[in-house]
Structure 1
Amino acid sequence: FTVLLLLNYVPFYPGLCFPVCFSAAPATLCKVCTIFKRGICLHGEGNCTAEEGPGCRTSDMFFFNVKDGWLYNHTQLDCYDKCRAWNLVRGNLKVSSFCCKGQDFCNMYRGRSLHWKSH
């Protein structure tokens, strides 16, 4: 028991830091999918790893219809270093993006795809 206590004891030296002090946040696994609809990847399925930066991105795609307004079409999932939440409208296309990190595959149920998550 005494030996175990001695092995666990690490003296503190000001200015000296072990690699643990500089350990980066754990990497986050993200879902990749070119066309994600109703909780299913229809095209381009895979995974990516967000090592640093904002992490996993969810982008909802909408197309404008004169009769019905903005209609949801599909979602794209990926990793992106400069990810941030934003909306873009260009002609008949609107893109709404969301970002997350810290939980594996967090981008599968953000934005429009949140409605398909089974509880």
Structure 2
Amino acid sequence: MDKFLLLLLLLGPLPLVFLQAQALVCTVCRSFKEGHCLRGKDNCTANSVSSCRTRDFFFFSDRDGWLYDHTELDCAMFCLSSNLFYEQNKISSYCCKNQDFCNRYQGKLMIKNIY
């Protein structure tokens, strides 16, 4: 019986090691533009219900259509890839979980007429 308890004590933390290995590290940047993080550069850790997220922000111009403004990189709970429209603004979201920093440098230099 003592050997069984010792085995349980030794193997007890093992599941925690596997749970920690599932953590995903993501890039954080509050304003990414022209290949550089201009504000808020950091990292975050996504868990089993969150993902790394890239959000591209656009504004609408009557002359040129949808113009890229900037990108935000972060961790998001229950992330869904989507296109959201609000008046003259559009936010395109992309979510990933395939590897650490999978949302790194997803910003665009200049995008026109995105539908």
- TM range, normalised to the smaller chain? 0.7 to 0.9
TM-score w.r.t. the length of structure 2 is 0.73
- Which residue in 2 is equivalent to 1:49? 45
How much has 1:80 moved relative to structure 2?
Answer: 0.6
Checking the alignment, whether the CA contact within 8 Å between 1:54 and 1:100 is kept in structure 2 is no
Instruction: Give the CA deviation at 1:52.
Output: 1.5
Aligned residue pairs total: 97
How large is the Cα RMSD of the aligned pairs? 2.3
Distance 2:39 2:90 in 1: 20
TM-score (norm 1): 0.71
SS of 1:87 mapped into structure 2: strand
- Give % identity: 51
Unaligned runs of 5+ in 1: 1-17, 114-119
Stretches of structure 2 that go unaligned for 5 or more consecutive residues are 1-11, 110-115
State the secondary structure of the residue aligned to 2:104.
helix
Q: 1:11 maps to what in 2?
A: none
- Runs (4 or more) in structure 1 with deviation over 3 Å come to 22-25, 109-113
Structure (1 or 2) with the larger CA radius of gyration: 1
Match in the other structure for 1:99: 95
Deviations 1:8-54 (A, max 9, x none): xxxxxxxxxx754x933621110111101122100111100002224
